[in-house]
Amino acid sequence: MRIGELAARTGVSVRSLRYYEEQGLLTSLRSPRGHRRYLEGQVERIRLIQRLFSAGLSSRTIVDLLPCVESPSADTSEAALERMGQERDRLDQHIDELVRTRAVLDDLIAANLAHRGEIASA
């Protein structure tokens, strides 16, 4: 199938599909005129890639995880599990940072409200 059809079937933009290919997440065959052609199995691969992106994973991490899907073994499964654990730890750290940032913002909002109250009563 051509890139437009793959985009339509997966709900992913043509631009994103080109990016996936550039990042090594997706491969295509080329017609004699240079047009990208995709195999039917690429639809499910795109759906998997989308789920991994939705989980907050980067394209670099997804490239590392795809061998587990393509040729599952004890080694690739262990490596994928370890990498997903690392990504979860990274997300936990990011969440902690966001919670701290929100607390600082809450303090600023409270200070602003207090200041407004002082101005109103003056």
Closest C-alpha among 110, 107, 105, 58 to residue 84: 58
Tokens of 118: 């002082």
Q: pLDDT for 45-93, tens place per residue?
A: 999 999 999 988 999 999 988 888 777 788 888 888 888 899 899 989 9
Among 26-30, 70-74, 85-89, 101-105, the range with the most confident prediction by mean pLDDT is 101-105
The answer for residues whose C-beta is within 8 angstroms of residue 75's C-beta and 6 or more apart is: none
Q: Does residue 2 sit in helix, strand or coil? A: strand
pLDDT at residue 68 in the model: 81
Q: Is the pTM of this model over 0.75?
A: no
- The pair phi, psi for residue 8, each rounded to 5°, is -65, -40
What structural domains and CATH numbers belong to the chain? 1-54 (1.10.1660.10), 58-122 (no CATH)
Position 71 scores a pLDDT of 79
